[in-house]
Amino acid sequence: MGSDTLKERRHLEKEIEREQRRLQKQTEHENYLYAHFWPALYKRYSILPVIDNLVVFASSSSSVLTPNLRPVFNSLKNKGYDCVFIGKYESTGRRFGRKTDEFKYYRRFFRYYGRCKCIFLDDTFLPVCSQKPREGQQVVQLWHTFGILKKWDYATHERELSSDILDSRPVHNTYTSVAVASDAAKPSFASAFNCDAKILHAWGVPKTDVYFNRSFTDGARDELIKSVPNLLSRINGRKILLYAPTYRGSKKAPMLFRTLDYMLLKRLLGNDYTLLIKHHPNITERMSIPEHLKSIVGDFVFEVPAFTPTETALCGADMLITDYSSVMFEYSLLERPLIFYAYDLHHYKKERGFFVKYESFVPGPVVSDSLMLAEAVRSSENDFDYEKLRNFKRKYMNGCDGHATGRVINFTLNDGKGRQK
């Protein structure tokens, strides 16, 4: 073995050792936070009485109010509640300031959480999982997706947190209530949260209320067109096909989806449709049309900006193309055609897994390439199975009727004694 090869091997071994030490320190730090620091902060700030008017909203994934938290926050704010939002932890990045930033962030969070009447979450929020709420407090989970199709968290064998970490740092273990879209959603949530089904309630999903706002849905197409650069001058009355694929990969290593055959789709559909691409909110790397294709398909394929709300994109589209994304549930409320471009179905089944049989579950045709997709779009113009779509909506979205926000508030803060719409 040559000297250069030995040097490279030793260098690689040192890199691996450094990474292992870093991960070990990170694990030890996270265990300390979960088992000692967070419970100590909660104990300190929960000595004083609960403030009945104080409601906390927390998100581990966003620095702004998320679609499920926003309507509840705004409604309670209008009712006179003291509403506080705690977004995801973000360090300044200074080497010697990170610990201070972290301490200040968690101190602020527990100062409010220790005394609030209720805290609303939209994702896993580990500080809350470290300490059971005291009497008079509620922890309400408004999960960001519908949780019915894909296996996730405790339900999947391929979770990012290993079983030993989950044993030492349990998650989803402190909720007093979880709002779901329907009774049919309860088994998957009970499996994924490893919780008692008694805390699951088919109150509906707050972010779906907007789909019953006629003025919003009627104006969404114009808002969508205005938000997409160069679309207004090029759409020329064509219908909008929205492609919104699921998030692939892990939180630390997202993967982009396979691009469609834009030239083929333009040739077959370009006279009647325009194609808009909407990335998952957690995808930071954006699609760009290759330079050699821009002059050919640049008036047919457009990217929806990240700032355009998902609900605006969905309500503005004439037809949705997706795969395993939960947007299928929201879109079903509009009773418009859906097509499922599941080019990696076999791989996805193996790696992620489903609670249901995918092919018979989804309320629309399943295709695996661009030609099949174009044919399905044409076929759906006159031969879409709307009855299957309505049955899907009735079964999996029957808690979503435009009043989910009111029910969530009524049954969490009013003990179900207020008037239910």
Q: What phi and psi, each to the nearest 5 degrees, are found at residue 358? A: -55, -50
pLDDT score at 420 = 43
Q: Do 273 and 189 reside in the same domain of the chain?
A: no
The overall pTM is greater than 0.85: yes
Contact present, 56 and 118 (Cβ < 8 Å): yes
Domain that holds residue 219: 214-396
Q: Which segment of 33-47, 51-65, 95-109, 366-380 scores lowest on mean pLDDT?
A: 95-109
379 vs 2, higher pLDDT: 379
Mean pLDDT (whole number) for 141-164 = 79
**pLDDT (tens digit, 9 = 90+) per residue, 376-398?**
999 999 999 999 999 999 999 99
For residue 209, how far is the Cα from the chain centroid? 17
Residues 66 and 88 sit within 8 Å (Cβ to Cβ)? no
pLDDT at 419 over 50: no
| Residues facing 320 on adjacent strands | 242, 338
The reported pLDDT for the residue numbered 362 is 98
Maximum CA pair distance of the chain?
A: 80
State whether 237 and 147 are in the same domain. Answer: no
How far is residue 214 from each of residues 37, 319, 329, 334, 376, measured CA to CA in Å?
Answer: 48, 18, 18, 11, 29
3-state per-residue secondary structure call for 285-349: CCCCCCHHHHHHHCCCEEECCCCCCHHHHHHHCCEEEECCCCHHHHHHCCCCCEEEECCCHHHHH
Q: Say whether both 251 and 386 belong to one domain.
A: yes
Contact 112, 86 (CB under 8 A): yes
Q: Which residue has the higher pLDDT, 293 or 70?
A: 70
Q: Is residue 322 part of a domain?
A: yes
Is the pLDDT confidence value at 247 over 80?
Answer: no
Which segments of 5-153 are extended strands (E)? 51-58, 82-86, 116-121, 138-141
Least confident span in 112-121, 157-166, 294-303: 157-166
The β-bridge relationship of strands 301-303 and 273-277 is: parallel
Residues 6 or more apart from 323 whose CB is under 8 A from it?
245, 246, 257, 340, 341, 342, 343, 348
Instruction: Tell me: do 191 and 320 sit in the same domain.
Output: no
For residue 158, what pLDDT is reported? 46
Q: Give the pLDDT score at 8.
A: 75
The token pair at 149 is: 């199709």
Phi, psi angles (nearest 5°) of residue 103: -60, -45
CA angle 43, 47, 52 (to 5 degrees): 115
Structure tokens at 52: 């009945």
Regarding whether 248 and 178 lie in a shared domain, the answer is no
User: Is the confidence at residue 92, as pLDDT, over 80?
Assistant: no
Q: In the numeric block, which tokens belong to residue 399?
A: 């808690």
* Distance of alpha carbon 46 from alpha carbon 48, whole angstroms: 5
The percent of residues above 70 in pLDDT, for the chain, comes to 90
In a domain, 297, yes or no: yes
pLDDT at 280: 74
Averaged over 274-286, what is the pLDDT?
78
The reply to whether 96 falls in a domain is yes
Domain identity same for 203 and 240: no
Residue 287, helix vs strand vs coil? coil
Over residues 320-344, mean pLDDT: 97
Identify whether residues 408 and 387 lie together within a single domain: no
The backbone torsions φ and ψ at residue 366, rounded to the nearest 5 degrees and listed phi first, read -105, 130
What is the share, in percent, of the chain residues with pLDDT greater than 90? 72
Q: Mark whether 174 and 225 lie in a shared domain.
A: no
Kindly state the average pLDDT of the residues 326-353: 94
Residue 329 has pLDDT above 50, yes or no: yes
Same structural domain, 252 and 218: yes
More confident residue, 355 or 290: 355
Q: So what's the pLDDT on residue 258?
A: 67
In a domain, 1, yes or no: no
For residue 318, being part of any structural domain is answered with yes
Mean pLDDT, the chain, rounded, equals: 89
> Are residues 149 and 251 both part of a single domain?
no
Name the residue type at position 307. F
pLDDT of residue 19: 74
Point out which residues pair with 321 in neighbouring strands: 243, 339
Amino acid 295: pLDDT: 81
315 occurs within a structural domain: yes
Q: How many domains does the chain have?
A: 2
116: CATH: 3.40.50.11820
pLDDT at 97 (0 to 100): 65
- pLDDT tens for 191-241 read 999 999 999 999 999 999 999 999 999 999 999 999 999 999 999 999 999
Report the CATH number at residue 262.
3.40.50.12580
Model confidence at 157, pLDDT cuts 50, 70, 90, reads low
Look at the alpha carbons of 147, 153, 159, 161 in this order and tell me if their dihedral is positive or negative: positive
Region 354-376: mean pLDDT is 97
Residue 170 lies in a domain: yes
Q: Average pLDDT of 73-99?
A: 87
In sequence order, what DSSP letters do the residues of 351-418 get, joined into one string? HT-BSS-HHHHSSS-EE-SHHHHHHHHHHHHHH--HHHHHHHHHHHSTT-SS-HHHHHHHHHHSTT-S
Single-letter residue type at 390: R
**What confidence tier does 421 reach under pLDDT thresholds 50, 70, 90?**
very low
pLDDT of residue 257: 65
According to DSSP, residue 247 is labeled P
Is 180 exposed, middle or buried, given 0-12, 13-18 or 19+ CB atoms closer than 10 A? buried
Q: Are residue 50 and residue 192 in the same domain, yes or no?
A: yes
Q: Are 140 and 178 in contact (CB under 8 A)?
A: yes
- Examine residue 335 and state whether it is found in any structural domain, yes or no: yes
- List Cβ neighbours of 358 (8 Å cut-off, separation of 6 or more): 149, 324, 342, 345, 349, 366
Is 197 in the same domain as 273?
no
What is the rounded average pLDDT of the residues 89-99?
A: 72
Asked if residue 85 has pLDDT above 60, the reply is: yes
The β-bridge partners of 121 are 58, 141
